[in-house]
Structure 1
Amino acid sequence: MDLEGKLEAEAEDRISELPDAILCHILSFLPTTLYAVRTTILSTRWKNVWTSVPNLVFEDREFPGRFEAFMMFVDCVFSLRNNSSNILKFRFLGGSNVEKEDISRIDRWICTAVRGNVVELDLQFYSGTFEFKMPQSVFICKTLVTLRVESDCISYAPPSTSGPFPSLKLLDFTAFNDYTTSLVKLCPFCPVLEDLVIGINGYDKNVRISAPELKTLRIHSPWDEVIEFFY
């Protein structure tokens, strides 16, 4: 082994000797969960480190033309991860490939993230042919601070027993239809909502916005124009 190779090997060994918590923190900076899972090939030391990474980020573009393989990958990650580790971020980008039969899987993943004390939830998928009801547990999640939604099929009906989103501070969504804009109607009941971001995508009805603690409102037009208001 030449000197350069020896130095690289020694550097890798030093990284592998770090505590799991630090290794998980390092892996949390990788762009998606697929990258984190791939670290298992480095050595046996890395075999299970990814199972405790707090950020779960899934993008269907990493499985071009193989959407079912993508969905199975998400299933496997949730089944193998360390359930004692909290989930800080759950991001699911399914594009326009999601079918009605996928609803139960997505619902299960979201509920698992909520049980894992999720802080940031980011959902992007489209249909136009079916309705996906946001799980009730999301509305009462006490750890959820950031919610980003870009979907034309998600509907929102919070439980009547308690106010929605008790800890939500940032809400970012795209208005496609009456389903999506129904989310705005919940804003007056969000006690700590500070930032609201709305993307307008072909929706031309009036939307009334009210939130007691709102500080910033940003509206994105289809032409990438941004209108920003401060309170």
Structure 2
Amino acid sequence: MLTKELVEEEIRFEDKDEDLISKLPDCILVEIVSRLPTTKEAIRTGTLSKRWKHLWTSVSNLVFLDHNENKFVFDFFSFVDKTLTQRPRLKLYTFRLHTYYNSRLYGSHIQNWIRYVVSCNVEHLILRLWNRGHRNEFPLGQFVFINSCFTHITLSCCALNPTGAISWKNLRKLCIAFGKFDEDFIENVSSGSPVLETLELKYCYGYKRLNITSKSVKNLVFDGYMHASYNDIIEFNAPNILTLTVQDVLVLTKFLLLNVSSLVEAHLDYTIPSWEYVTTIEEAEEEMLKGFILNLRHVKHLKVGISCSKVWFPLWML
């Protein structure tokens, strides 16, 4: 049971903590606010006191997540517009945008947001843009493909057809998801990204060959492939990569490793789905895994995940 003395002591302790927090410099408080999960939560800290009211305008991370696929679209876009209008053009570390949109109504809004964050020298650009009711990818302006501030880029459902050269001089990691591109795009990325180390491709399509000859790219993650044709054959040539991961669902006939002579570590954890017009799915799985094993004999560390185990164990017993 709490006595009067204990309650008074607890109050004095809480007051002491509150005083300590209020004495922190603005730069520390801004860092605290910047680490909140979303920008909306960062703005809400302004209700704590007058001192906190404008701290959010100096945050280095902007995170806007729209999970309402079928409602409140106008509210979300109005909120982002207002937020970026109130924030000065200060240096940005991360800009993360996840939203459903209608290209006719809100495409120009998104273009303006991207221009704003690029003008703030953003380093981490993360875009997940789902075009409501359409399969067309979001068209990125050429200014996105020429930027020396980017260090990490994630592009989901974005059109990858730059009108000119690609220049990402400080880019170290590139993730592309649900995007269409041709063989030339990857070669342009390699030539225009001299320090790129990691490339992740998730359910991308439009290409038949991945030719990665850059000496800087050391890690490749091939995270699923799905297109209209099951008969696709992907050729992969990357003589300088050190690690390779092939995972998730592969809707294709073959994945041919042409040259991975520098590879040290590989992880295989993929599945080939059953389709009505594919009568020899087991043979296709076995043939693909055999091809991988033969081309990965020199690899020091080979991990075969549970998805491949039903094929791996019969092969291992041979």
Asked if these proteins are the same fold (TM beyond 0.5), I'd say yes
Shift of 1:40: 0.6
Report if the CA contact (8 A) 2:124-2:152 is conserved. yes
Query: Which of the two has higher C-alpha Rg?
Result: 2
CA deviation after TM superposition for structure 1 residue 16, in Å: 2.5
Q: Give the counterpart of 1:114 among 88, 93, 118.
A: 118
Q: Which residue of 1 aligns with 2:190?
A: 188
Structure-to-structure mapping, 1:1-150, within 5 angstroms? 2-61=8-67, 65-83=71-89, 85-94=90-99, 96-127=100-131, 128=134, 130=136, 132-150=138-156
Moved more, 165-174 or 98-107: 98-107
Q: Show the counterpart of 2:222.
A: 219
Give how far 1:220 is off: 1.2
Deviations 1:111-159 (A, max 9, x none): 11111111000000122354532122222211100000111x4233153
* Partner residue of 1:199 out of 199, 202, 223: 202
Q: Partner of 1:154 in structure 2?
A: 159
Unaligned segments of structure 2, at least 5 residues? 1-6, 227-244, 248-259, 265-318
Structure with the larger RCO, 1 or 2 (CA within 8 Å, 6+ apart): 1
User: What's the secondary structure of 1:220's corresponding residue?
Assistant: strand
Q: Does the aligned pair in 1 maintain the 2:125–2:154 contact within 8 Å?
A: yes
Going from structure 1 to structure 2, the CA distance change for 1:44 and 1:173 (only over 3 Å counts) comes to same
TM-score by length of 1: 0.84
The residue aligned with 1:166 is 169
Q: Where in structure 1 are there 5+ consecutive unaligned residues? A: none
Instruction: Assess if the C-alpha contact under 8 Å between 1:187 and 1:209 holds in 2.
Output: no
Letter in 2 for 1:122: I
What's the % identity of the aligned pairs?
30
Tell me the matched-pair count.
222
Q: Alpha carbon RMSD of aligned pairs, Å?
A: 2.8
Q: Give the CA deviation at 1:20.
A: 1.4
